């Protein structure tokens, strides 16, 4: 395992929270501003931690999927082509 992988695997929940706060406010705990490179590296470390330790719903940038309904479906109809009868289109 290379050094970067070792570093990413050594992130604790406390370190993760500190990285997350630094990215959110753009500063380290001592008040020093993050550089663009530091912000990018912190985000990469956060994402790596999240994928190993947190459920998908807690990942940075997670957007919950919306339930999919088919055009003209009322939710109680059979799947398309389930029978041979024609189904009229509903224009609304």
Does residue 66 belong to any structural domain of this protein?
no
Does a structural domain hold residue 49?
yes
Going along 1-92, which residue ranges are E strands?
A: none
Structural domain harbouring 18: 13-58
Give yes or no for residue 78 having a pLDDT over 70: no
Q: Is residue 65 part of a domain?
A: no
Residue 87 lies in a domain: no
Whether the model pTM is above 0.75: no
Check residue 62 and give its pLDDT.
84
Domain membership flag for residue 31:
yes
In a domain, 72, yes or no: no
- Cα separations in angstroms, 30 against 18, 61, 67: 11, 27, 44
3 domain residue, yes or no:
no
* 27 phi and psi angles, rounded to 5 deg: -140, 155
Kindly state the average pLDDT of the residues 64-73: 75
| pLDDT tens digits, 19-65 | 999 999 999 989 999 999 999 999 999 998 998 888 888 888 888 88
Most confidently modeled of 51-55, 69-73, 75-79?
A: 51-55
Q: What is the number of domains present in the chain?
A: 1
Residue 68 lies in a domain: no
């Amino acid at each position: 395992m290379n050094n970067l992988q070792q570093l990413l695997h050594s992130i604790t929940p406390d370190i993760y929270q500190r990285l997350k706060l630094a990215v959110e406010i753009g500063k380290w705990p001592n008040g020093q501003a993050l550089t663009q490179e530091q912000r990018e590296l912190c985000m990469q470390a956060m994402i790596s931690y999240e994928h190993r330790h947190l459920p998908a719903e807690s990942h940075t940038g997670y957007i919950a999927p919306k339930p999919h309904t088919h055009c003209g479906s009322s939710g109680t109809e059979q799947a398309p082509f389930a029978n041979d009868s024609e189904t009229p289109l509903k224009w609304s």
